[in-house]
Amino acid sequence: MKAVIYTRDDSEYELISRVISTNNNGFEVFRAPLDGHGHYSVSYDIAAVAIDGAEGMEIILELSDRNPDTKMIWITNDRHFAGMAIRKHISGFIVRPYHEVALSSAIDDAVKQCSGSGTWHFAAKRK
Average pLDDT over residues 72-100: 92
Question: Is residue 119 over pLDDT 50?
Answer: no
Question: E strands, 9-115, where?
Answer: 28-31, 46-49, 71-76, 92-95
Q: Is residue 120 part of a domain?
A: no
Residue type, 21: S
Q: Is residue 126 part of a domain?
A: no
* Domain CATH number, residue 48: 3.40.50.2300
Tell me how crowded residue 72 is: count the other CB atoms within 10 A of its CB.
Answer: 25
- Domain tally, the chain: 1
Q: Is residue 124 part of a domain?
A: no
Please provide residue 76's backbone torsions phi and psi, each rounded to the nearest 5 degrees. Answer: -145, 165
What's the rounded Cα separation, in Å, for the pair 122 and 124?
A: 6
Question: Is residue 118 over pLDDT 80?
Answer: no
Q: Is residue 57 part of a domain?
A: yes
Q: What is the four-CA torsion angle of 21, 32, 60, 109, rounded to 10 degrees?
A: -10
Q: Which pLDDT does position 2 carry in this prediction?
A: 92
| Of 6 and 119, the one with more pLDDT | 6
Looking at every residue in the chain, the average pLDDT score rounds to 86
| pLDDT tens by residue, 28-84 | 999 998 887 767 778 899 999 999 999 999 999 999 998 999 999 999 999 999 998
CA–CA distances in Å: residue 4 to residues 16, 56, 62, 82: 10, 14, 14, 21
Please provide residue 99's backbone torsions phi and psi, each rounded to the nearest 5 degrees. Answer: -100, 155
Peptide bond into 97 cis (omega under 30): yes
Average pLDDT over residues 17-27: 85
Q: Is residue 73 part of a domain?
A: yes
Q: Is residue 125 part of a domain?
A: no
Question: Is residue 92 over pLDDT 90?
Answer: yes
Q: Is residue 76 part of a domain?
A: yes
Residue % of the chain over a pLDDT of 70 = 88
Q: Which pLDDT does position 27 carry in this prediction?
A: 86
Q: Which domain holds residue 73?
A: 2-115
CB 30 within 8 A of CB 2: yes
Q: Is residue 121 part of a domain?
A: no
**pTM (global) more than 0.75:** yes
Question: Is residue 123 over pLDDT 80?
Answer: no
